[in-house]
Homo-oligomer: A and B are copies of this chain.
Amino acid sequence: MGKIEAKLHELGIELPAPTPWPAHLPLIPAVRVGNLIWLSGKTSKMTGKVGRDVTVEQGYEAAKECAIGLIATLRDELGDLDKVKRIVKLLSMVNSTDTLTQQPQVAHGCSDLLVAVWGEHGRHARSAVGMASLPGDATVEVELIAEVD
């Protein structure tokens, strides 16, 4: 078991099993160029708008869901999570009412888990912002760039 896999186990995080990607889709989960990998936006299964349908605390859990999905994509793409050198950048998009001001508190749900897993190498640049709406009414969608070995 790799170091990061062991850390996930220690944190009680179980990654979803790899699932075949629908071949008809024009997009793919990730594209790597050199030592950088761009991941497609991962939406939470939790639905509803923060500030109206779900609380900031629930939104935090939705963002954590996104982190788990993103980590699973990194595992599926790289084969071994120890190949992730560092998390570079997140765009954390929160399904928001037009008066929500706490997008960072929601987005921390994803960011905190990445730091719990990768430590200092998990700390990243980030924007956390309010979207008018998201696919399938997802509560949060996060896209990620990582540096890989």
A residues with CB within 8 A of B:
26-31, 33-36, 38-41, 49, 86-91, 93, 96-104, 108, 111-112, 114-115, 122-137, 141, 143, 145, 147
Give the docked Cα–Cα distance between A105 and B97 (Å): 23
Asked, given contacts A130-B131, A136-B101, whether A111 binds B38 with beta carbons under 8 Å apart, the answer is no
Asked, given contacts A101-B137, A133-B100, A135-B101, whether A128 binds B28 with beta carbons under 8 Å apart, the answer is no
Count of chain copies: 3
Q: Which among A33, A101, A127, A132 has the greatest number of chain B C-beta atoms within 10 A?
A: A132
Chain B residues with CB under 8 A of A145: 38
Give the docked Cα–Cα distance between A67 and B134 (Å): 21
